[in-house]
Every structure is written in structure tokens, then in C-alpha cells.
Amino acid sequence: MSPTYPPSATSAPRPRFADRVNRFWARVSEGLEVSQLWAQFEKDARSSYRLYSSDVARTAEEPLDNTRKFLRTAEKFFWAILEKLSPARRVLMLVALLLLFLPVGGFTYKDRAGDVKVAEFDLHVWGGLTLLLVLVLEVGDRVVMKRDLQIAKEIQNWLLPNQPPAIPGVEIAFLTRAANTVAGDYYDVFARPDSAGGVSPRYLMAVADVAGKSIPAAMLMATFQASLRTLSGQPDSLPDLVHGMNQYACTNSQGGLRFTTAFIGEYAADTRTLTYVNAGHNLPMLCRKSGALERLEAGGLPIGIMADAAYQSGTTTLMPGDWLVIFTDGVIEAENDRAEEFGETRLLQTLATGSQESPAQLMQRIMAGIDFFVGNTPQHDDMTCLLVKVV
């Protein structure tokens, strides 16, 4: 009878090939389903097409037949892609394309025995490797840029409140969604100090939209936040506060090119009175419990256009059951694949449907409605919304 031995730790069965393939696929796909991957690819492709097509559309098109028009458009797309690279990488890209499209060559020669030999050379492999080199260099730049943008996003998150303050008589929810890693939208709700340095029953509610997107807009958003927080500590009226912010913004707005639309309200919790200034912003919706709709439009020009611009304030009283909705244009201008906008009508319908919910629940309903409407269409603008429910 043959002796039996305990299984050795070193003789454990190796993972099956299928298991290794599954782990590899899970690592590559990060656990996403094929349908999710395709939706992500479609969204990225639409975003890239929008980027390159904007360069193509800048030049006027002379009348051409269909074939020549197609070739001209293809040429413009080629240059739009090539010009996004550095000069050295453009040369590498052209060399790679040249090697890929060259035919297989060769020559004949005689060996020492006098036999005729044929030597062939195929440069397609070298073209592919050169193209891969360009891709690796571009991916390296993207990784560095993504890391820097992630740091910028973390800094921007520090500037924005995570939770709204507890304000007697109202419930608040806010949300921002950047079109890129960082956003040019701004929101804030905080208690305004009184003249003696204490905390009064007055609260500032602000939503702003800096012209542009990404890093430049995010930097100006930080400047806007700093000026609002600093000037709000002075015992000035709300129009004077906005006037001071406008004068400061005009010093670094590049002659009015980098302006900011903003809605700034001052809510007195003891009287339920909202005093506001609308500086060229989308008109907030004040949805009364009775079903009436009011738009808050008193104010003036966007901040950063004219240093001597005058601002007027409006006043309204919030009653139990009312909803105040402050938003940026990215919410109502979100587009689907047919270039249709979400619009204020759909936003109002969503508000009416969820009027009995909490602001946080209604915010989720609004964003879910926008996501369902746009589908896989890339987000082209930052979206910010602030909801106030009077209880």
C-alpha cells in the first residue's frame, strides 16, 4: 500500500486561465458592464468630436461638391487633431503615418553561391511603434494634468460648504456638478456678521457663474468667494456689497471678458424677508404654495463688466410652503443628443412633482431627471442648483 502524504503548500493549484482573464478584465474595466463601457465611450467620443469640430467650424466654407467638401472637412479635422500636439510630436505622428502607409518594399541580391535572394522590409511595425510612442507621451501628460486638476478640485471643494447651516424656518440643499474636473460655478450659504462682530439672524445665499469653464473660471470663482466673504463682514447694504465686489472684479476681468453672473440674497430669519441683488444671473424661481410663480430680477449688470455699474435690490417675503430655486444656466441648458435643452418648463414640472419632498430629495429628483433627459450627451457646462424650502 502506497503511503499518503499531506498536500504541500507549494503544490497549490495554479489559478485557472479563465480566472486570470476575469481578473484582468475586472482590472481594465473597473467592474463596469459592457453597456456602461459603451455609454462611456460614446460620451467621450461626442465630447472629442465637439472639441475638434469647433476648430473646423471657425473657418468659412466655400461652396463645393459633396466629394470635395468631404475631403476638405477631413483635412480640417486632421489639422485640428495634429495642432493639439507639440511640434516634436507632430513630426513623430507624421513619421508614424508615413511608415504605416508605405508599401512593403524589398530588393534582390546574389549570395556567395550566386543564388538570387529577395530581401523584403516592412516598416508598418515601426510605424505602429512610433504611433504608440506618441500615445505614451500624450498619456503621460494627461496623467500629470489629471493629478494637478485633482488637487485643484480638492482645493475648490474646501472653498464650498459641505452642509448648509441651520437656519430657522427654512431647509436648504445645494449641489454643483462640474463639466470638467473643476468648475466655475459657486454657491454659498453663511451667516452674515452684524456691525458689532457677532452673528445676526441674517444669512447670505449666493449662486454665481463665472464666464468660461475649467481652470481659468475656477480661479476667478475663488476670487469671487474671497471678495464675498471679506466684504460681507462690513455693515454695508446688499447693493453696496455687490458694488464693492464689482469694483474689485473689474480690476482683473480682462476688460469685462471674465465677468460673473451672480444672485446674492440676504435672508432675515426673524421676519422671513429676503433682500436680493440679481447681477445678470438666471432669474431664480420663487414658487408659492398657492402655485403662483415669481421671478427675482431686481439687480444690475454681471459683476466685472463696468466698474461704475449701479445695483438695485429687491425684497420679498417667504411664506411656509414656498420654494426658492436658484440655479445656473447649465441646469436648464443641458442638451440631449437632439440638441434639445432641458429647459425651465421641465424644471418647473419636476418642482411641482416633488414639492412635498425635502430639498435633498427634490435635488436628487432634479438631477436624475436631467441625467435621463441628456442620456450619453456630454455635459457642456457646469451645473449648480440651490433649493430653499420654507417650513
Q: What are phi and psi of 104, to 5 degrees?
A: -65, 125
Residue 217 lies in a domain: yes
Please write the tens of the pLDDT for every residue from 311-325: 999 999 999 999 999
Distance in angstroms (rounded) separating the CA atoms of residues 50 and 47 = 5
Question: Is the distance from CB of 338 to CB of 148 less than 8 angstroms?
Answer: no
Is the pTM above the cut of 0.85? no
Please, what is the average pLDDT of the chain? Answer: 85
Residue 138 corresponds to which cell in the numbers above? 500624450
Residue 363 lies in a domain: yes
The H or E element spanning position 366 is helix 359-374
**pLDDT at site 59:** 55
Residue 5 lies in a domain: no
Residue 134 lies in a domain: no
In the structure, what pLDDT confidence band is assigned to residue 7 with cuts at 50, 70 and 90? low
Please write the tens of the pLDDT for every residue from 117-136: 766 777 888 888 999 999 89
Task: Determine which of 98-112, 149-163, 213-227 has the lowest per-residue pLDDT on average.
Answer: 98-112
Average pLDDT over residues 104-121: 69
Question: Is the distance from CB of 204 to CB of 232 less than 8 angstroms?
Answer: yes
The H or E element spanning position 94 is helix 87-101
Q: By CB neighbour count within 10 A (0-12 exposed, 13-18 middle, 19+ buried), where does 180 fall? A: middle
- Claim to verify: residue 65 and residue 177 sit in the same structural domain: no
- Claim to verify: residue 231 and residue 374 sit in the same structural domain: yes
Question: Which residues span the domain enclosing 37?
Answer: 18-84
Average pLDDT over residues 252-259: 74
Q: Which of 184, 162, 181 is nearest to 173 (CA)?
A: 162
Coil/strand/helix, residue 206: strand
Residue 203 lies in a domain: yes
**pLDDT at site 197:** 47
β-strand partners of 277 = 264
We report the CATH number of the domain holding residue 354 as 3.60.40.10
Question: Is the distance from CB of 173 to CB of 372 less than 8 angstroms?
Answer: no
Coil/strand/helix, residue 167: coil
Please write the tens of the pLDDT for every residue from 297-307: 999 999 999 98
Please write the tens of the pLDDT for every residue from 159-206: 888 898 899 999 999 999 988 878 889 999 999 876 444 455 789 999
Number of domains in the chain: 2
Proportion of the chain above pLDDT 90, given as a percent: 41
Residue 153 lies in a domain: no
Domain boundary among 58, 84, 110: 84
- Claim to verify: residue 73 and residue 198 sit in the same structural domain: no
Q: Could you identify the residue written with the cell 424661481? A: 285
